[in-house]
Homo-oligomer: A and B are copies of this chain.
Amino acid sequence: MSRDRLIYLPLGGAGEIGMNAYVYGYGPEGKERLLLVDLGIAFPDMDTTPGIDVILPDISWLADKTDRLEAICITHAHEDHVGGVGHLAGQLKAPIHCRRFTANHARRKLRDQGHDEAMVNVADPWPAQIEAGPFKIGFLPISHSIPESSALVIDTPAGRIVHTGDFKIDLTPGLGESFDPDAFREVARPGIRALVCDSTNVFSKAEGRSEAMVGPNIRDLVLASSGMFVATTFASNVARLKSIADAGAAAGRSICLMGRAMRRMTEAAVEEGILTDFPKTISPEDAAGVPRENLMLIVTGSQGERRAASAQLSRGKYFGMEMKEGDTFLFSSKTIPGNEKEVARIVNNFSEMGVDVVSDDDLYHVSGHANRPDLETMHALIDAQCVIPMHGEHRHLREHARLAESLGRTGVLAPNGTMVDLAGNKPNVVDHVETGRSYLDGSVLVGQFDGVVRDRIRMALNGHAVVAVMIEDDDRIMEDAWVSLRGLPEAGRSGRDLAEEMERELSQRFERVDTRTAGDDDAIEGIVKKAVQKVAQEEIGKRPEVTVLITRLAAE
């Protein structure tokens, strides 16, 4: 006799930092009613995903089961949690639930992709609950680095789950809701089946620091600086924006926000009633008329993004503003691993201008995630039957599970695709599901393994030789092939033109090709590739990618 299952299945986020997507299910095997928590994106890089715009979790497992999907709940408005809504919610056709500030972003994302924003429902915070099939879901406020982040309290007939979302334990977050240990204790009182818990900072051993400590440090720095003061941070960290702006206002500076994301975030925060006492800001046009020692810019681009305001200012003028010797530029942020070189490029550009760059992340930044001691606190507060680490690379999940075990709890290592049944006496891995990522490339979704990205990387590493071959209607190859090179040097060791050397080699080989071979496209392609790569090897010591275009002339 089959009993009902309570399943947990990460489709994204449990194997990377980014693209969070966690499925919960309740019901008989194969007929569970489903709930999706978060639908985020990850960001591409030149090494592995050149030219890709956005990385999305592969949700095909879920897309096959939309008739069973009751709801999508979004914990907070960071891109790695809400960024996939515009691209994927259309496939899932389920109502989206989130709090006001998050809803503001989710709606915009749906609009941008031509979807109906009425899919988005605003949830009131806990103790309010949303009913979705067998689930009752409560949005319990939790501190993080963006307004209105929520842990989810998920009630099912088989018991209660707490899904933390991204969080830190901050009793003085500056703006918005502080962490309320009593609320978590209260939620935990009936007993918790599983604590599904953020893992990103599990390797950080120090206790987490509060947002409240950043403001005074920034204030001191602004007061001590003489030229223009420019600060960058994550645009979504509205509390930080306010700390920075308050510091500027306290120093009698006019505040100007620069960069699209910066303006969008503050607008959303004002619209949703979160930002009520932000200092008055001025436009870049007006800023140009303010003496620089009376001016503060708050700009996008803390990660060195090429097109953001920081990078543009480091290269020259941006909306009429320009950095000069004696100005100060503050990174009120941490460099995310992988962005070091881009950030260093900006710092070096500023250094050449004589701008003082300040980037001490002990003084001017705090993380939005729970460090190891704070994870221990959360484990103790919730005191669940098991701890399932989520949001992290494999190393983070494993370390977090070991941490739980070291404290006498059951830790469950469940990377993407691992289906865990939580209904029994102990968590039980019941299935492994195919997961992966898909790429938004321009306006099209491409698969991870369909060769598009692989071919781009190969062209970037090896260059690309293109050869046009013509074959007459009587299957004779015309001996003059055309070679065109991209991403390859014009001349090699011999000093002669490389493309011409290849054409010469091709002509010689074509002379020896009989009409039977010439009738076979694959055979010709093989001959051309061999000839081109032989010349390339001799002349430049490389094996380029080769594309052969064969044209067969029709009989007149």
The reply to whether A486 and B468 contact each other, CB–CB distance below 8 Å, is no
Which residues on B sit within 8 Å (CB–CB) of A455? 463, 486-487
Question: Per-residue 0/1 for A394-432: is the Cβ within 8 Å of any B Cβ (1 yes, 0 no)?
Answer: 110010000000000000000100000000000000000
The reply to whether A444 and B551 contact each other, CB–CB distance below 8 Å, is no
The reply to whether A460 and B337 contact each other, CB–CB distance below 8 Å, is no
Cα distance A540–B53 in the bound complex, in angstroms: 12
The reply to whether B489 and A441 contact each other, CB–CB distance below 8 Å, is yes
Q: Which of A476-507 contact B (CB under 8 A)?
A: 480, 482, 484, 486-490, 492-493
CB distance from A76 to the nearest CB of B (A): 24
Cα distance A348–B393 in the bound complex, in angstroms: 7
Which residues on B sit within 8 Å (CB–CB) of A482? 549-551
A464 CB–B CB distance under 8 Å: yes
Which residues on B sit within 8 Å (CB–CB) of A111? none
The reply to whether B446 and A489 contact each other, CB–CB distance below 8 Å, is yes
Cα distance A331–B466 in the bound complex, in angstroms: 44
Q: A341-B45, A351-B398 are in contact. Are A540 and B457 (CB under 8 A)?
A: no
The reply to whether B547 and A484 contact each other, CB–CB distance below 8 Å, is yes
Which residues on B sit within 8 Å (CB–CB) of A95? none
Q: What residue in chain B is nearest A359 (Cβ atoms)?
A: B203
Cα distance A344–B545 in the bound complex, in angstroms: 30
The reply to whether A486 and B459 contact each other, CB–CB distance below 8 Å, is yes
Which residues on B sit within 8 Å (CB–CB) of A541? 442-444
A352 CB–B CB distance under 8 Å: yes
Cα distance A225–B443 in the bound complex, in angstroms: 51
Q: What residue in chain B is nearest A538 (Cβ atoms)?
A: B443
Which residues on B sit within 8 Å (CB–CB) of A490? 450
The reply to whether B466 and A460 contact each other, CB–CB distance below 8 Å, is no
The reply to whether B493 and A444 contact each other, CB–CB distance below 8 Å, is yes
Cα distance A337–B493 in the bound complex, in angstroms: 35
The reply to whether B341 and A340 contact each other, CB–CB distance below 8 Å, is no
Main secondary structure on chain A at its contact with chain B? mixed
A338 CB–B CB distance under 8 Å: yes
Cα distance A441–B415 in the bound complex, in angstroms: 40
A542 CB–B CB distance under 8 Å: yes
Which residues on B sit within 8 Å (CB–CB) of A488? 452
Which residues on B sit within 8 Å (CB–CB) of A480? 551
The reply to whether A452 and B344 contact each other, CB–CB distance below 8 Å, is no
Question: Per-residue 0/1 for A212-250: is the Cβ within 8 Å of any B Cβ (1 yes, 0 no)?
Answer: 000000000000000000000000000000000000000
Q: Which of A365-411 contact B (CB under 8 A)?
A: 393-395, 398
Which residues on B sit within 8 Å (CB–CB) of A46? 46-47, 50, 457, 460
Cα distance A457–B464 in the bound complex, in angstroms: 12
Which of B337, B357, B466 sits near A466, CB closer than 8 Å? Answer: B466
CB distance from A533 to the nearest CB of B (A): 12
Q: What residue in chain B is nearest A347 (Cβ atoms)?
A: B395
Q: What residue in chain B is nearest A466 (Cβ atoms)?
A: B466
Cα distance A482–B357 in the bound complex, in angstroms: 53
The reply to whether A547 and B461 contact each other, CB–CB distance below 8 Å, is no
A134 CB–B CB distance under 8 Å: no
A115 CB–B CB distance under 8 Å: no
Cα distance A452–B462 in the bound complex, in angstroms: 11
Question: Per-residue 0/1 for A45-60: is the Cβ within 8 Å of any B Cβ (1 yes, 0 no)?
Answer: 1110011000000000
- A contact set with B: CB distance below 8 Å: 45-47, 50-51, 337-338, 340-342, 344, 347-348, 350-352, 357, 393-395, 398, 415, 441-444, 446, 450, 452-453, 455-457, 459-464, 466, 468, 470, 480, 482, 484, 486-490, 492-493, 539-542, 545, 547, 549-551, 553
Nearest 4 pairs of A and B residues by beta carbon: A443-B541, A442-B541, A442-B542, A460-B460
Can you report 21 residue pairs joining A to B where beta carbons are below 8 Å apart? A338-B340, A338-B341, A344-B395, A347-B395, A348-B393, A350-B395, A352-B394, A443-B541, A452-B487, A452-B488, A455-B486, A456-B463, A457-B460, A459-B486, A466-B549, A468-B549, A468-B551, A470-B551, A484-B547, A484-B549, A486-B545
